Structure 1
C-alpha cells in the first residue's frame, strides 16, 4: 500500500482506497504512476497532466494495400419470418435484462459509496479521538451525524472533557498562582497547556528569587529549576552576591583573629600578637605604614605601672563588609566594640572603658589596619 495524491482533487489517499474520501472518484485499479515524474494519473489518460509524458502508444497510421476484388457471394434463401409475438417477447426480455443490469450497477455504486463514506467516517473518528482540539471534534459531530452511536457518544464525551479542561485552564491562568498552576499540571499531565504553565511557574520563582536577592533564594531557584529559563542569570547573580555576602564560616574566622589579637594583649604575648597582624599595616591607631613592632610597642605602652591586670572582652556586635580583590580573594572591613577591664593599685583611676574599633582583614587573613575610638559614657 502506498500514499498518493488523488489525480482529481490532490488529497493524500491510499492507492488501495476504493474511492477518494474527499471527491468520491474511483481509485483502486484505476490509477497508475507516470514513469517520468512519478505523479499518480488515471490509467485511461494518454499523457501525464503533470509533465506531459506520453502514457499510451499512439496508433500508427493505416497502411494502404491493394486488395483483389472479391467475387459476390451467392444469395441464400431467407429464413421464414418469425411471428410478431416472438419479436415482442424478445423486446420485453431485453428490457428486463437492461433493468437488471441497471439495478446491479446502481447497487455497486451505492455499495462503493457507502463503503467509502464508512471509511472516511472511521478515519475521521480515529483522528478526532486522538486530538486535543475541540473544534476538530465539533466538526466530526457536525459532518458525521449519521455515524455509529458509540462513536458519537465517545467524541461527545471527549469534547466535554476538553471543554472542562479549557475552563479549568482559564481559571488557573487568571489566578496567577504557582500552587494553582502546579495543581493543574498534576491533574492534567497530558494537557497542551502544561508548557505554558511550567513557563509561568519558572517566571514566578525567578521573580521571587530576584526580589529576595539572597544566596538562599538563588540556590532555591537553582534546586527547583536546574534547566530553568533564568539559570544562567541565577548563577551570575549568585556569584556576584557571594562575593559580597559574608558567610557564617567567614564571620567566625574573622572573630577568631580579633579574639587572638586581644587575648595576646591580655597575656602580653608578643609572638601571639605579632602573628595576628600583617608585616605592614596601612594604619594602626592613626599611624600610617605601621609595622609589627608598632603593635607590640602599643601593647607594652598601655600597661601602666599601676596596672596589675588587663582583660579585653569583645562584644560580638560585628558589622562586616566584604570586598572582592580578585583571584577569588576577599578583603573584610570590620567594625565592632570591645570593653577594656583594668585592675589597678590606684583605685581612683579608670578601671573600665569601651571602644569603637574599625579594622581591616586582608586577603592573607591578617589584620592590615586597626583604629580605636574611646566611647565616652
Structure 2
C-alpha cells in the first residue's frame, strides 16, 4: 500500500525498507493510531496527531483459546473467541472496528462490553502494527489465521525481493557509470589520435612541398586523403609544375640532340633563341665557331677571314684568321695611317648613333659613294638614317666596330688612298625588343675623309 512517510511526507510503499527520500525505516516500523488512524513511527511514544498511546504486545493467535483480556475465568462465555491482528490496507478502519464491536456485543453479555472495548485497544506487536481486533468463531478464526499467514509470507517475499531489486538497481547504475566512463575515455583517446594525425600530416606536407621528386608528392596525396584542402591543392599544383618542368627539360634535351646532330649553324642558332639560358650554351657556341671557321677556310679569301673575325672576335681560331689576313696585304700600312682610317669610319658611325650632323660632316667628303650611290652628301646619309635605321618602333641604334681592322693601300705614295675592311655589329632597340646584326664595313679614305663606304651583312 502507498502511504505518506511520517518523517518527510513523501509517498512510499509500506513494504519499503526505508524511505528513498529521507532514509527513515518504513517496513515493520509504522503504526496506525487506533484512535484517529494517523500513521507514525513506532519509536514515538504516542500518536503525534491525537496523542493516543498504544501498548505494544505480541498478538495471541489461538484456535479455541481464550483471550486473557476478554474474559474472567468465572464468567459465562457464549462461544469460542479468537482475537487476531489483521493489517487493513485501506483508510476505513474505524468503520470496520465499529462493525466488529457491534457483532461482538451481540454475542456477549452487556456487562462484558467494557472488556470488549479494552480488546480493541490491545497493543501492536514489535514486528507489525495492529490496525484492528476482531472476534470470530472457530471456523472464521481458522480462515483468518490462514489468510494472515499467507499475507505474512507474501510480505516476507516482498521484503526478500527488495534487496534483489536494489542489487539490480546498483548493477544498472554501475553499468551506466562504466559506459559513461568508457565513452569519455574513447573521446579523449580520439582527440589525442586526431592531434597526432594532424601533426603527422603537417610533417608529411612540409617534406613533400619542399621536394622536387614527383614520387614524394604522389605518396603524400595517396596517404593523406583527408588532409586540409589547401595542403592537397598546394601539393597538386607543385606536382603539376614539376611535371611541366620535367616535360620542358625532356623537350630541350630532344631539341639539343637534334641540333647537335644536324651540324647546321641555323639549327643551332634556333636552339639558342628558344633556350637562351641552356646549360649547353657554351657547347653550342663552340660548335657554331667551328662551322664558321670551316666555311672561311673553304673560301680562303680576305672577306671570308674578315667575316669570321667579325662574328668571333675572340673565337677559337681568331689568331689563325689574323695570320691568314696578313698574307693578303699587298702594301705595308703604317700605324698612323691605320689609325686615321679607322678613326674616320668610327666618327661616321658615332654620328649616326647620336644623329649628330657635325660628326658625320667631319668624317665624310663633300661628295662620296654611300652604299653604292655616287654623289651622295650628308643629307643623303641623314635621309637613310630616317628611312632605314630610325623607323617608328626603333628607340636607339648603336654601331660597334670590331677588330682587327684590315687596312691596305694601292701604293706607298704620300696621300694614297687607304682601303679599310673592319667587322662591325649593329644593335637595334625596338619597342618589341632588341636585335643584333653583324656586318663587314668596307671604306676608302683619302686625306682623312671617307670617299666611299659600304656595309654588308653577314
Same fold (TM over 0.5): no
Higher helix share: 2
- TM-score normalised per structure 1: 0.34
Q: Which has the higher contact order (CA 8 A, sep 6+)?
A: 2
| Greater Cα radius of gyration, structure 1 or 2 | 2
